[in-house]
Structure 1
Amino acid sequence: MNSDINFNKSPDGLLPAVIQDAETGKVLMLGYMNSQAYEKTLAENIVTFFSRSKKRLWTKGETSGNFLHVREMLADCDGDTLLIKATPTGPVCHTGADTCFEEVNQGKGQFLNYLQAIIHDRKVNPSDKSYTTTLFNRGVNKIAQKVGEEAVELVIEAKDNNDDLFKGEAADLLFHFLVLLEQKNMDLDDIVSVLKSRHIKQ
């Protein structure tokens, strides 16, 4: 168990657990965990709560099959609230909604931050088996050239009607662009800030 988590802070031994989609960043639901629910979640990588109405451990999805697969578990600064980043296998709310707050759970932009972290790791911890590492070894000019090549290929595919090929080329361009940003010691947020400033002026 994480030593920063203190279930004794609550008289009933229950701590609130905020469930967040690991890819979209959307808050999916709020549940409660005691130490047994936490340990079970940690062991199985599937979210289990303590049901205050049923007075027992309750694995989310045990009836519906819509489980929450754990990607990361964090405690807040006081050790009395949990943040669990998870991947849902279906609608989270019992009403059939994506979230218990009636929000549509869309937008996988959070994955770009994860991908950035992987690219950064390949730069500071090179691996002979990594394609990303070979790009960094070639230097900024070659990386920039690769971005240009991928951009041209995307333009070519845009003129045709094969959506799968177009999406593949778009993914290639985006990936190599992130590598170029890392090589230039920049973050995607730096570019987003520029876009936001332009949006405000428009």
Structure 2
Amino acid sequence: MTETPTPDAAFARLDATIASRKGADAASSWTAQLLAKGPEKCAEKFGEEAIEAVIEAVRGDRARLVSEGADVLYHLAVMLAARDVSLADVAAELTRREGQSGIAEKATRSDGGGEPPR
């Protein structure tokens, strides 16, 4: 019987793999190449992948959306790592927000929730 992978385990392995590639020879892995190019390039690549995921969400191709979603999560993790933030850090923030209304949470942000007035 095949076990269903858990997001926690997958994200922990991804965090560990990315951390192990920090400072590695850029010729040795794509992750090392991205990290060597700096946080700005990592952010740019994340943005490109996010746009590709949006396109697939609009098209409605589930398999392509799953693939692009994986690319988005990977590139998010690399972008975060480039600024010394882990997926575990993000998970802790999500845990902190559990049970709190999204509207209430946004109201507590110093930037007012990041939404322009309407």
Which TM-score band (shorter chain)? 0.7 to 0.9
**Higher helix fraction (1 or 2):** 2
Q: 1:155 is matched with which residue?
A: 54
**Residue 70 of structure 2 aligns to a residue in which SS?**
helix
Higher relative contact order (CA 8 A, sep 6+): 2
- Pairing partner for 1:118 from 3, 9, 17: 17
Give the letter aligned to residue 126 of structure 1. Answer: D
Gaps of 5+ in 1: 1-89, 92-104
Give the letter aligned to residue 179 of structure 1. Answer: V
After superposition, the C-alpha distances for 1:88-140 in whole angstroms (9 at most, x for unaligned) are xx17xxxxxxxxxxxxx645210211121111111133341311111011110
Number of residue equivalences: 100
Percent identity over the alignment?
Answer: 32
Q: 1:164 is matched with which residue?
A: 63
CA distance in 2, matches of 1:124, 1:141: 17
Gaps of 5+ in 2: 102-118
Give the letter aligned to residue 108 of structure 1. Answer: T
TM-score, with structure 2 as normaliser: 0.76
After superposition, the C-alpha distances for 1:142-179 in whole angstroms (9 at most, x for unaligned) are 10011111111100110112211111110100000111
Aligned-residue Cα RMSD (Å) equals 1.7
**Higher strand fraction (1 or 2):** 1
CA distance in 2, matches of 1:106, 1:135: 30
TM-score, with structure 1 as normaliser: 0.46
**Residue 84 of structure 2 aligns to a residue in which SS?**
coil
